[in-house]
């Protein structure tokens, strides 16, 4: 109904305008003194002229345009439609006057038609663009006064232009762009849709105060992670909420719009440039293969499933003990990959018979083993559960891979396996020993991939900090000097898949985690990114190192050495000299002590994992 009223209103305005154009053309042509016979012709024919134009306007789509977003394209459209309508009138009057019941005496001078055509473009186009100007500037000013969110846009390129345009155009937007920052000196002092470019990144803090900015929007999708970090680090000093457009590689088809604007995340500060992948190598061992992911509902496992789905497996088997996680990733994959052959199974890697049944039924050819207990403090209090799940669960998968002729098994390991000081790290270290021992005697290629903390994964420090900030604090940090290596989930999984394609068997791949990060600084950055001020809005509380926790993590044991690979972010550790008989003996010993108390179990774990030193 609203659309119909709008169309009728525009038609009514156009009826008036086309007649004003004719009368003005008379005044111009005859210098203000309109001959009586011309006026008589107008009175006899105005309804025909008006009717032809309005009908052609309607048929050519003049009333289907959204003039609030009028731009150069709409101006060209107006010129084309008005030209067609005036040509239609001239055609009827000069070529076939009988079609509209005209006598030759009712034909006007040719100059009148030319002048009318020009005036139609001026008036019809002018009214529509006046509406656009009204919405952009008059309503913009009222919106400017009404809402408190004054935005500083960083980036005066195409993306910044689109963001400004859409923020100004959307009625429901509660954000008003008031200034732009860009490092291009040629753009300084210029305006984008009325919004001035006021300086470079060096002026951000100054301009935020001067312009009374409420939030910052970074609109440079093409910038590198290094550039992104530099800009965010400057913006942090303003203590304002920050939003941004994601990188071009994250945008669907590279298209930019305000719907893509999201809050700045800690990953934007810690992330690195996109990983370079050998798609042919990865696709070669995943395409048309039955691929199993244990722990497929977890943070690492679910991302493995998402990325494997892109490589067209014959069947993707998702195995998890926790049904809710499995259900979530199942629904997500069904939505994103409707043709993906997918099977979700609820099972525990501890249960040998159930796992054997699954291997026999589905015949997996590639297995990614991500199922594990990984919470360090919890495993200190329940070491037997860590041993059952992490060690014996992995042993079950390894033996079944060997028994059923699986081509490749990739074990997800951790930097906590290096000189472990906690139960979880020690169990993961033992899993690496199993991988290397079994690879020597099996046709299956057993490999492990070791990396550090994954940003945003279940149980990681980031979600904990976010909850604490949301609850008003304090944010708890165990020690002001504690450092960790971080990697995004996406990057970690990409490198896991790449390492799997490079594997020949027996390797422990070590991923380049970049520079270590102080957890204390991470907490402070998160507080600032949330638009809060440290020690004013929220505090940091130091709680002391937890049992089994290191001040720093190591990615590589000294005695292992390090060999580079063809991928600049993947390295290989020197294999351990351990036999299947040795690990089997250690496994039997662990089985015998599972019923003992925690202290005894931890002491015996040191015997089977020589590098384990708890309490360090």
Per-residue model confidence as pLDDT tens digits over 519-548 = 888 888 888 877 778 888 889 999 888 776
Q: Rg for the chain (alpha carbons), in Å?
A: 35
Sequential DSSP letters for 174-187: -EEEEEEE-S-GGG
pLDDT at 461: 80
- Contact, 369 vs 410, CB < 8 A? yes
Which tens digits make up the pLDDT trace of 459-483?
678 888 888 888 888 999 988 888 8
Q: How far apart are the two ends of the chain, measured CA to CA in Å? A: 74
- Contact, 590 vs 448, CB < 8 A? no
Residue 263, helix vs strand vs coil: strand
pLDDT at 615: 56
Handedness of CA 61, 63, 69, 71 (dihedral sign): positive
β-pairing verdict for 486-488 and 453-455: parallel
What are the structural domains of the chain? 2-138 (no CATH), 147-264 (3.40.50.720), 279-455+486-513+555-608 (3.40.50.720)
Q: Point out the catalytic residue in the list 416, 428, 550, 569.
A: 416
- pLDDT confidence bin for 309, thresholds 50/70/90: very high
Greatest Cα pair distance in the chain: 118
Which tens digits make up the pLDDT trace of 49-93?
888 888 887 887 777 665 555 566 667 777 888 888 888 777 777
Query: Residue-wise over 407-438: b if at least 16 C-beta within 10 A, else e?
Result: ebbbbbbbbbbbbbbbbbbbbbbbbbbbbbbb
- Contact, 221 vs 239, CB < 8 A? no
Distance CA 131, CA 432 (A): 69
As beta bridge partners, residue 181 has 154, 199
- Whether 416 is a known active-site residue: answer yes
Structure token pair of residue 75: 């101006």
State the DSSP code for 534. Answer: B
SS3 content of the chain, % helix, strand, coil (to 5): 55, 15, 30
pLDDT at 158: 84
| Cα distances (Å, whole numbers) of residue 8 to 13, 58, 600 | 9, 11, 87
| Cα distances (Å, whole numbers) of residue 517 to 95, 453, 488 | 81, 11, 13
Distance CA 406, CA 285 (A): 12
β-pairing verdict for 540-542 and 475-477: parallel
């Amino acid at each position: 109904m609203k659309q119909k009223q709008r169309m009728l209103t525009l038609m009514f305005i156009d009826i008036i305008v086309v007649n004003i154009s004719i009368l003005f053309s008379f005044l111009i042509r005859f210098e203000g003194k309109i001959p009586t016979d011309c006026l008589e012709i107008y009175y006899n024919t105005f309804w025909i002229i008006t009717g032809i134009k309005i009908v052609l306007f309607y048929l050519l789509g003049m009333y289907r345009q959204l003039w609030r977003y009028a731009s150069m394209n709409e101006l060209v459209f107006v010129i084309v439609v008005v030209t067609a309508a005036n040509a239609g009138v001239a055609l009827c009057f000069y070529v076939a006057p009988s079609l509209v019941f005209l006598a030759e005496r009712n034909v006007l001078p040719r100059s009148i038609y030319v002048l009318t055509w020009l005036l139609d473009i001026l008036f019809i186009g002018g009214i529509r663009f006046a509406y656009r100007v009204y919405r952009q500037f008059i309503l913009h000013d009222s919106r400017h006064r009404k809402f408190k969110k004054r935005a500083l846009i960083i980036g005066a390129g195409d993306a910044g232009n689109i963001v400004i345009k859409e923020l100004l155009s959307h009625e429901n937007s509660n954000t008003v762009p008031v200034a732009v920052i860009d490092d291009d000196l040629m753009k300084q002092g210029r305006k984008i849709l009325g919004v001035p470019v006021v300086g470079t990144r060096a002026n951000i803090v100054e301009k935020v105060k001067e312009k009374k900015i409420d939030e910052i929007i970074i609109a440079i999708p093409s910038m590198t992670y290094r550039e992104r970090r530099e800009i965010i680090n400057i913006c942090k000093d303003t203590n304002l909420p920050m939003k941004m457009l994601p990188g071009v590689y994250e945008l669907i088809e590279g298209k930019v719009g305000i719907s893509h604007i999201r809050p700045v995340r800690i990953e934007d500060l810690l992330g690195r440039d996109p990983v370079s992948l050998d798609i042919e190598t990865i696709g070669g061992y995943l395409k048309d293969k039955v691929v199993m992911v244990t722990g497929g509902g977890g943070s690492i496992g679910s991302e493995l499933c998402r990325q494997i789905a892109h490589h067209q497996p014959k069947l993707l088997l998702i195995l998890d003990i926790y049904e809710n996680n499995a259900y979530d990733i199942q629904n997500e994959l069904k939505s994103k990959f409707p043709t993906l052959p997918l099977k979700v199974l609820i099972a525990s890697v501890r249960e040998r018979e159930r796992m054997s049944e699954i291997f026999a039924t589905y015949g997996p050819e590639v297995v990614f083993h991500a199922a594990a207990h990984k919470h360090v403090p919890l495993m200190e209090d329940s070491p037997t559960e860590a041993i059952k799940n992490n060690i014996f669960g992995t042993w079950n998968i390894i033996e079944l891979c060997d028994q059923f002729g699986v081509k490749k098994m990739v074990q997800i390991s951790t930097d906590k396996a290096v000189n472990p000081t906690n139960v979880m790290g020690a169990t993961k270290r033992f899993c690496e020993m199993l991988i290397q021992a079994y690879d020597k005697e099996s046709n299956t290629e057993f490999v492990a991939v070791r990396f550090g903390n994954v940003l945003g994964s279940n149980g990681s420090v980031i979600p904990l900090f976010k909850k604490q900030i949301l609850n008003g604090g304090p944010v708890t940090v165990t020690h002001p000097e504690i450092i960790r290596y971080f990697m995004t989930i996406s990057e970690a999984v990409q490198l896991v898949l790449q390492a799997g394609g490079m594997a020949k068997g027996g390797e422990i791949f070590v991923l380049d985690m970049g520079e270590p990060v102080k957890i204390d600084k991470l907490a402070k950055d998160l507080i600032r990114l949330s638009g809060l001020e440290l020690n004013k809005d929220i505090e940091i509380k130091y709680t002391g190192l937890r049992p089994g926790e290191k001040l720093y993590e190591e990615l590589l044991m000294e005695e292992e050495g390090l060999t580079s690979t063809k991928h600049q972010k993947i390295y290989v550790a020197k294999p351990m000299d351990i036999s299947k008989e040795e690990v089997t003996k250690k496994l039997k010993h662990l089985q015998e002590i599972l019923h003992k108390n925690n202290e005894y179990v931890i002491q015996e774990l040191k015997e089977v994992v020589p590098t384990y030193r708890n309490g360090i």
